[in-house]
Structure 1
Amino acid sequence: MRDASDDLRYVYAVCHPPAAPLAADLTGVGGVPPRQLRHEGLVALVGPVPERDFAAEPLRAHLEDLDWLAETARAHQRVIAALTTVTCPLPLRLATVFRDDSGVRAMLQDGAERFERVLARIDGRVEWGVKVHLDGEAAAGDAPRAAPQPDKPRSGRDYLRQRRSQRTAREESWERAEGFAQRLHDTLSLRSDDARLHAPQDAALSRAPGRNILNAAYLVPRSQSEEFVELVDRTKDEEREATGLRVELTGPWAAYSFTGDDTDADGTEHGDAAPDGRESAS
């Protein structure tokens, strides 16, 4: 039988005291409900986890197990998503673990100034993600499906002419796509309190079709989220026929991209993987 006295403390997020309780049936990592640990106006949402899995050495091995990692990330994100419905949390990195409650309180005490600064910045706000993809056909500079295929080159000159034509089409497609993505980002930045540009996603890792042109996050007041979503929706069909563009909206999330260096709190944090269980809302 598991001895609860040996459990470590898994910390999901830091926030101010929520205005409403979390759902009674909410469970986190290991299927255990999280609880609030309060310290001088701050709250850490924590849950017990067994030392045999979350001490430094076994955790390091677990992080190489993709199935274990995915299950843990989903549980982590489930708690963050639930917390986001009742407050604006500062999420901590996946597998942030402390020895006991006193370690968590020390983390809250030592990081209090930074936590308060970040929580003030994200108060009343959520994160929306927007991606723009250029489909594979357009990215490759291929002709539209309805157009006839070019004749087989009859000479080396014909072959070079076709190659130049394909290269020009590809360059023009990229220019149009990048121009659209920049205009969209500029527009959305004006409608948000803050914005972050992330590196384009690798299609082999994200499994999303096409090439990722824009990968951005926007910090939007909850009260203005409906208007923000409508603005993105109005762009989804713009220029699609001409350039093969696809606009993807995700959220609302906790403000992952706007919490600064929130995962380096003093303590026994072992993990180095960010939460990975977020799903598209569109």
Structure 2
Amino acid sequence: MDSLIYLYGLIPTKEAAKQLCPSLKGFDGIGDVYTFPIGKITAIVCNLDSENYSEESIKEQINNNMEWLQEKAFHHHETVMKLSKIFTIIPLKFCTLYNNSASLETAVQSNESKMMNTFALIAGNEEWNLKIYCDDQLLKKQVSQSNPTIEAKREEISQLPKGKQFFEKKKLDKVIETELEEEKNKVSEKIHSHLREFALKGNVKRPWSNDVTGRKDNMTWNGVYLITESKVEDFLEQIQQYEKEMRESGWQFEASGPWPAYHFSSFS
């Protein structure tokens, strides 16, 4: 059968020449992961049977076989993680496939300049993630007691006839919800801005829902940072300081890393 090329990531060829690729099983659990040099860039790949791993069959598995998806996604992640500890790697997304080696070569060659610039950016640096969580009920109580807008509205309501107060209090609840969201964003943005001082780059991702996190408290911020190795300790110490100072106010911080530079490298 014809073979598809499964691409895990790209590394500088000069690094591949100095360090052998570790012995790893490929995506199908049968073949091996191997290196495929393409000029200054080396692809780390494995071969897959084109019938068993056609686009249609993979979509079928992803949509209807959660056990398969979890197993294969874990394999991809673990493989890229192991490679990232040895090489400067541009990690590829899960299930990046090419019909043959020629199509892979063309894609890499057409993006060579961009990839070499990316290697220069991420070499010697680490990607870290920070998720910020908040106890909305606790923070809402604090906001409703200290926010000038809410205090003014509460005073205004107290001067109204009893009949009108009920409906105005309902409106006040909406004001409190709005002020709560603004407070969460303001605090999170301030923290993000400060943490970027430790990083070469810092990006914001969409917060995860409670269904994804499995937590009762809400994720208010999801940031990723590219940090020089020498500054990682300072970065983490600052997060620990935030945790210490803000825990009683309902804030929690969850830092994780280092990760392959998924958010600071891309390959079309």
TM-score normalised to structure 2 length: 0.79
Compute the displacement of 1:158 (Å).
7.7
1:61 paired with 2:60, answer yes
1:6 paired with 2:6, answer no
Change (3 A) 1:164 1:91: same
**Equivalence map 1:222-237=2 (5 Å):** 222-237=229-244
Letter paired with 1:192: A
**Equivalence map 1:1-282=2 (5 Å):** 6-17=2-13, 18=15, 19-24=18-23, 26-31=24-29, 32-65=31-64, 66-138=66-138, 141=140, 170=177, 173-242=180-249, 244-260=250-266, 262=267, 264=268
CA distance in 2, matches of 1:138, 1:249: 22
Q: Give unpaired runs (5+ residues) of structure 1.
A: 144-154, 265-282
Q: Which has the higher helix share?
A: 2
SS at match of 1:29: coil
CA distance in 2, matches of 1:167, 1:176: 14
Compute the displacement of 1:71 (Å).
1.6
Compute the displacement of 1:107 (Å).
2.3
Letter paired with 2:4: L
Identity %: 21
Letter paired with 1:13: G
Compute the displacement of 1:163 (Å).
5.1
CA distance in 2, matches of 1:60, 1:91: 21
CA distance in 1, matches of 2:88, 2:166: 59
Is the 1:142–1:169 contact (alpha carbons within 8 Å) kept by the matching residues of 2?
A: no
Runs of 4+ that moved beyond 4 A: 155-173
Is the 2:21–2:35 contact (alpha carbons within 8 Å) kept by the matching residues of 1?
A: no
Compute the displacement of 1:76 (Å).
0.7
Is the 2:21–2:34 contact (alpha carbons within 8 Å) kept by the matching residues of 1?
A: no
Q: What does the per-residue CA deviation read over 1:161-193, in whole Å, with 9 as the maximum and x for residues that have no partner?
A: 875775566555444433321221011111100
Query: Rg: which structure is higher?
Result: 2
Change (3 A) 1:208 1:119: farther
SS at match of 1:73: helix
Partner of 1:149: none
Compute the displacement of 1:46 (Å).
0.2
TM-score normalised to structure 1 length: 0.76
Letter paired with 2:71: E
Q: What does the per-residue CA deviation read over 1:22-65, in whole Å, with 9 as the maximum and x for residues that have no partner?
A: 443x3342224311111212110101222223212212222213
Compute the displacement of 1:116 (Å).
1.3
Is the 1:21–1:86 contact (alpha carbons within 8 Å) kept by the matching residues of 2?
A: no
Compute the displacement of 1:220 (Å).
0.7
Which moves more between the two structures, 155-164 or 245-254? 155-164
Compute the displacement of 1:114 (Å).
1.9
SS at match of 2:244: coil
Is the 2:133–2:251 contact (alpha carbons within 8 Å) kept by the matching residues of 1?
A: yes
SS at match of 1:239: helix
Compute the displacement of 1:157 (Å).
7.0
Is the 1:27–1:75 contact (alpha carbons within 8 Å) kept by the matching residues of 2?
A: no
Letter paired with 2:38: H
SS at match of 1:54: coil
SS at match of 1:117: helix
CA distance in 2, matches of 1:113, 1:176: 43
Q: Give unpaired runs (5+ residues) of structure 2.
A: 143-161
